[in-house]
Structure 1
Amino acid sequence: MSKQDFETLQEPILALRPEEVKIPNMPVHASVQEAEDLFEWVQEDQEKLEPAGLDWQLVTDLPLRAGALRYSEAIWNRDSLTREEAQEQWKEQSPEAFDLRDVLVHDFTHAFRRQSDLTNKVRAIREGGSNSDMLQDLNNLYQLGMDNKPLLDAIGFDWEKLEQARTWSDELASVLARANGERFDTEETKVIRDKAYTYLKEAVDEIRLHGKYVFWRDDNRYRGYISKYHRE
């Protein structure tokens, strides 16, 4: 989950000095998506990029850095909401999240029908119907799904649903906390968000720099190292 990604990278993110921190120059969700797309794009180019000087650990860490930013943005958005705004947002979005939880339970029950240990885990997730239960269920379903990909692939599972579960588990947990009246320091969480953005941007920029260098005469590969958001 994104929270775990942030906790894994918390030390180097928070260690960034104020003069190093960049303010996002594009929507954060676009930054995260571009980083995740870049991670997939760069895989086939390792043999050409490493000899050109790219530290492949930057590529390996890219999903973690993207997840850390996703989580930091969710926390800052939570803190920026008034209690009334958070309650309204929860009222609008939580029915879809509850429905997604039920859909995933339905899918998993079918996919795991011949595995009693997995069926028992799904049954345990199904119990409890509170708001916090639902958010924890989405988290647990994400982890369970990622651990059992072949069984889900066998039923033609739509993996976008699991990505949505991951997103809502983080974002709606923040909204619910605010709706329940918890108080937060918005300035502190904004600084952390900006640091997480900077930490992701450092890796993305370095990977793109090497990609543009290596593929400067190969338009088919070069295009994958350009920001789609800024290009459009």
Structure 2
Amino acid sequence: MGHSSIKDMLLKQAYSITPESIKRLGLSYGIFLQECSEFILWAQQDRDKLSKAGLNIGIIQEAEFLLEEAQNIHALRANESKSTKEEVANWNRKKKEGIDLGKQLVHHFKYAFRHNKELSAIMGEIKFPCKVHELISNLDLLIHMGNGHTDLLDAIGFDFAIMSRVAQLAEELPNLHGYKYVASQSNPNKIKRDQIFSLLKSKVDEIRACGKYVFHNDPDRLKGYRSSYLRQKNNRATRTKKNN
């Protein structure tokens, strides 16, 4: 079977894994990839002995293909995650600015409109902070009221630059909220990543099990099939328990 055929077969197999069947890694994606690379390297060196113990050597090649796919999609997801965080941070920053400036407008407008019962009543109903749709609606209303009563605002020496910025935010916030919502939703690449990692784990677990069996009396080779991360983690836990 050619390389492309093997790759297609493995991806088809990975993408058929249901969410509830995805294997938990027990460690970070980056560390998992590093350890898989090391396990595969050891298995390549020991392929003859592993084969004699019943391991289908083709599984090592399959693990290599899956490792490459896992590395690629991990890098893709890292970039997507960074973009998502940036979208969310931008939304939160602009939302806070909208709330702060909205409060300022309410403060100024209440004083400017204090002799007009109708306008004062409207101002009394505008509250910050509020829900997203109310925030955008409140900012639009404040802009409309400000533009309609510039004479009253002029009379108190109001700085119209504040209103200009609020008008800009009122236009930006709906789109920013849309971007933030889309960015925070479940991403198909996240699911694909977990499926590929899960299949890779299955292949590597099989290789490691055989390696541990073959080299159970050979510490120098056995260590190549054990997780350095988990060993260090367990050692730290043991030391902590002793110190306590």
- With over 3 angstroms needed to count, the CA separation of the structure-2 counterparts of 1:6 and 1:61, relative to structure 1, is closer
Query: What does 1:1-232 align with in structure 2 at a 5 Å threshold?
Result: 9-82=10-83, 85=86, 186-232=186-232
Per-residue CA deviation, residues 88-109 of structure 1 (Å, 9 max, x unaligned), is: xxxxxxxxxxxxxxxxxxxxxx
Please give the alpha-carbon distance, in whole angstroms, between the structure 2 residues aligned to 1:231 and 1:52: 25
Instruction: Tell me the amino acid that sits aligned with residue 220 of structure 1.
Output: D
Please give the alpha-carbon distance, in whole angstroms, between the structure 2 residues aligned to 1:200 and 1:84: 28
Q: How many residue pairs were aligned? A: 135
Please give the alpha-carbon distance, in whole angstroms, between the structure 2 residues aligned to 1:84 and 1:230: 30
Instruction: Tell me the amino acid that sits aligned with residue 13 of structure 2.
Output: P
User: Could you tell me whether the CA contact under 8 Å between 1:79 and 1:189 is conserved in 2?
Assistant: no
Please give the alpha-carbon distance, in whole angstroms, between the structure 2 residues aligned to 1:32 and 1:84: 23
User: Could you tell me whether the CA contact under 8 Å between 2:211 and 2:222 is conserved in 1?
Assistant: yes
Match of 2:132 in 1: none
Please give the alpha-carbon distance, in whole angstroms, between the structure 2 residues aligned to 1:82 and 1:25: 26
Q: Which has the larger radius of gyration?
A: 2
Per-residue CA deviation, residues 118-176 of structure 1 (Å, 9 max, x unaligned), is: xxxxxxxxxxxxxxxxxxxxxxxxxxxxxxxxxxxxxxxxxxxxxxxxxxxxxxxxxxx
Instruction: Tell me the amino acid that sits aligned with residue 30 of structure 1.
Output: I
User: Could you tell me whether the CA contact under 8 Å between 1:13 and 1:196 is conserved in 2?
Assistant: yes
* TM-score, scaled relative to structure 2: 0.49
Which runs of 5 or more residues in structure 2 are unaligned?
A: 1-5, 88-178, 233-244
Please give the alpha-carbon distance, in whole angstroms, between the structure 1 residues aligned to 2:203 and 2:60: 7
Question: How far is 1:74 from its partner?
Answer: 2.3
User: Could you tell me whether the CA contact under 8 Å between 1:76 and 1:190 is conserved in 2?
Assistant: yes
* TM-score, scaled relative to structure 1: 0.51
User: Could you tell me whether the CA contact under 8 Å between 1:16 and 1:195 is conserved in 2?
Assistant: yes
Please give the alpha-carbon distance, in whole angstroms, between the structure 2 residues aligned to 1:220 and 1:63: 23
Which runs of 5 or more residues in structure 1 are unaligned?
A: 87-180
- With over 3 angstroms needed to count, the CA separation of the structure-2 counterparts of 1:226 and 1:189, relative to structure 1, is same
Per-residue CA deviation, residues 193-232 of structure 1 (Å, 9 max, x unaligned), is: 1111101101110000000011111101100000111111
User: Could you tell me whether the CA contact under 8 Å between 2:25 and 2:201 is conserved in 1?
Assistant: no
The share of aligned pairs that are identical, in percent, is 29
User: Could you tell me whether the CA contact under 8 Å between 1:76 and 1:186 is conserved in 2?
Assistant: no
Instruction: Tell me the amino acid that sits aligned with residue 32 of structure 1.
Output: L
- With over 3 angstroms needed to count, the CA separation of the structure-2 counterparts of 1:72 and 1:223, relative to structure 1, is same
Please give the alpha-carbon distance, in whole angstroms, between the structure 1 residues aligned to 2:40 and 2:208: 11
Per-residue CA deviation, residues 52-91 of structure 1 (Å, 9 max, x unaligned), is: 11111111122211111112222323333336738xxxxx
Question: How far is 1:7 from its partner?
Answer: 6.4
* Over 6 Å off, 4+ runs: 5-8
